Structure 1
Amino acid sequence: MSKQPGSIPKANNGYQPSSTSSTVTYVLAGLAVVVIAGLVIGGVIWNSQRNKGGVDDKVLADNASLIVGSAEAGHTIDVFEDFMCPACGAFEKQSGESIVKAVEDGKLRVRFHMLNFLDSNSSSGNYSSRSAGAAQCVAGGEKPEVFLKFHSALFAQQPQEGGSSDLSNADLARIAGEQGASATTQKCISDGAKIDQAKKAADASQTQLAKASGGRVGTPTVLSAGAPLGISDPNWLQNLLNAKAE
């Protein structure tokens, strides 16, 4: 289901990422060889079909958890993350505030894609999918700034990968409420109402990401015009905004 774009008011929305930290980037691989589709070993997924064909922009748009920013913005990016991924948390701390400012300034349009390949690395076995479903609830029921605050809050309160516990649906609903989500949205999260929808969106988005990168896929990844950006450079966003839009 296609997500409606939203705009973010310039007023202070409480979005306060922390300082940058360093961590490991999680990588998936889709090799053009005969392998077992969907086999996950040590955080790596092998699927020979994922990297065939070109990126489909409509599929990316239709499967984004949320689209924020004007359609007339100079640049559109696709941001791929997993709420269980420590490297994604570090990326949020490094670039989250700058991304939001660029959206507020009308310079950037962002399509967020929440993946779930780290489900098995969570204590519950499905935290990535449940948190992605929670994000779908917030995106569908609230203004964009509430989604952005919830997105930031989940990375700030990120469970330890491979740890003995993670966040329950009730915890996720409570955190959403703390960011301004309504009782209806909180119930959507508590009930896990959009987990299946989030799984389908994650799979479709992950396939497009694999196509963009020749089958070798990692999170966090940012695509611009269907191609990965070098986000290890702390100036990646400013370099993008300074470049002529394609």
Structure 2
Amino acid sequence: MSEKRKSGASVPRATTSKYQPSAPSSTMTYVLGGIAILVIAGLVIGGIWWSGRDKGTADQSALAASSTMIVGPENAPLIDVFEDPLCPVCKMFEQQSGPAITAAVTEGKLRVRYHTLNFLNSRSATGDYSSRAAGALTCVAQEQNTDLFLRFHSALFGAQPAEDGTGNITSPELARLATSQGATPATAKCITDNEKVAQAEANAATSSDELKKAAGQVGTPSVLHDGKPVDGLLDGTGWLDGILGAGKS
């Protein structure tokens, strides 16, 4: 810093006077503002965004209506999974717990409502990747093929672009990724044409509101079980084992 004067320093005077405190310097104001911006940016870049702490009760019908896809039998233990396609922590969660979730759904032991959020749009090169990926998942969900949806969901996180403002996957590329997992030509066209992006964005808004009600905050990845937040999501699959174990009792 080239400026040498310390905040609050006074110039010597010929006559005696009482000390007069100076106002905070503009330099300090900029520093504090910069720190605040860095803290917020760190939370968003990490894939987590807190927006309030008014914990309450989520509307189960709203959670069902705003989900991207619901898989698993109705009588199985229920979880709501909240993710942003560009969230690197969500990718870690998928790598750690995705196979176990898929196995539990396939075996009829778990019911999952997937919610695709999009607050990381601005971290993609086009400014809309999260929304387009959510739209792609919504297109695939229209086929009502559980195995296809779970394969595409996993492949989507496997191909996740960088979260640094440069990464991107075009809609035609998302369509080809879906096709490689078994999606129909009609679904591929739905993805290429961004037919379900608006619906996905509306669902993301509702899902975010309901997550905030239940958890007091909006963050990804998040899981609700019977409407309550689940802890330890990045500590392996112990959180899921506990839910499945409780379902047996």
In the TM superposition, what is the alpha-carbon distance from 1:27 to its structure 2 partner?
2.1
Question: What corresponds to 1:31 in structure 2?
Answer: 52
8 Å contact kept, 2:92–2:234: no
Report matched runs for 1:145-224 at 5 Å. Answer: 145-214=147-216, 216-224=217-225
The runs of 5 or more residues in structure 1 that have no matched partner are 1-23, 33-50
Q: Does 2:114 correspond to 1:112?
A: yes
CA shift at 1:53, angstroms? Answer: 4.8
Normalising by structure 2, we get a TM-score of 0.78
- Take 1:171 and 1:206, find their aligned partners in 2: how far apart are those partners? 27
Moved over 4 A (4+): none
User: Of Structure 1 and Structure 2, which has the larger fraction of its residues in helix?
Assistant: 2
The answer on 1:243 being equivalent to 2:221 is no
Secondary structure of 2:113's match? strand
Which letter does structure 2 place at the counterpart of 1:117? F
Contact 1:77–1:110, Cα closer than 8 Å, also in 2:
yes
Conservation of the 8 A alpha-carbon contact between 2:96 and 2:234: no
Cα deviation for residue 239 of structure 1 reads: 1.2
In structure 1, what is the equivalent of residue 71 of structure 2? 68
1:93-108 equivalences in 2 (<5 Å): 93-108=95-110
Equivalent pairs counted in the alignment come to 203
- 2:160 is aligned with 1:144: no
Q: Is 1:59–2:73 an aligned residue pair?
A: no
The structure with the largest alpha-carbon Rg is 2
Give me the whole-angstrom Cα distance separating, in 2, the residues matched to 1:165 and 1:241: 37
Percent identical pairs in the alignment equals 47
Q: State how far apart, in whole Å, the 1-side matches of 2:208 and 2:90 are.
A: 15
1:223-242 to structure 2, matched below 5 A, reads 223-230=224-231, 231-234=233-236, 235-242=238-245
Instruction: Classify 1:223/1:189 alpha carbon distance in 2 versus 1 (closer, same or farther; 3 Å).
Output: same
The corresponding residue for 2:93 is 91
Q: Bigger CA drift: 97-106 or 185-194?
A: 97-106
Report the aligned-residue RMSD. Answer: 1.7
**CA distance, structure 2, for counterparts of residue 58 and residue 124 of structure 1:** 33
Mapped to 2, the partners of 1:156 and 1:244 lie a distance apart of 30
| Post-superposition CA distance 1:1-59 (Å, at most 9, x none) | xxxxxxxxxxxxxxxxxxxxxxx852222236xxxxxxxxxxxxxxxxxx475210000
* Structure 1 residues 238 and 25: CA distance shift in structure 2, 3 A: farther
Structure 2 residues without counterparts, runs of 5 or longer: 1-44
Superposed displacement of residue 72, structure 1:
1.3
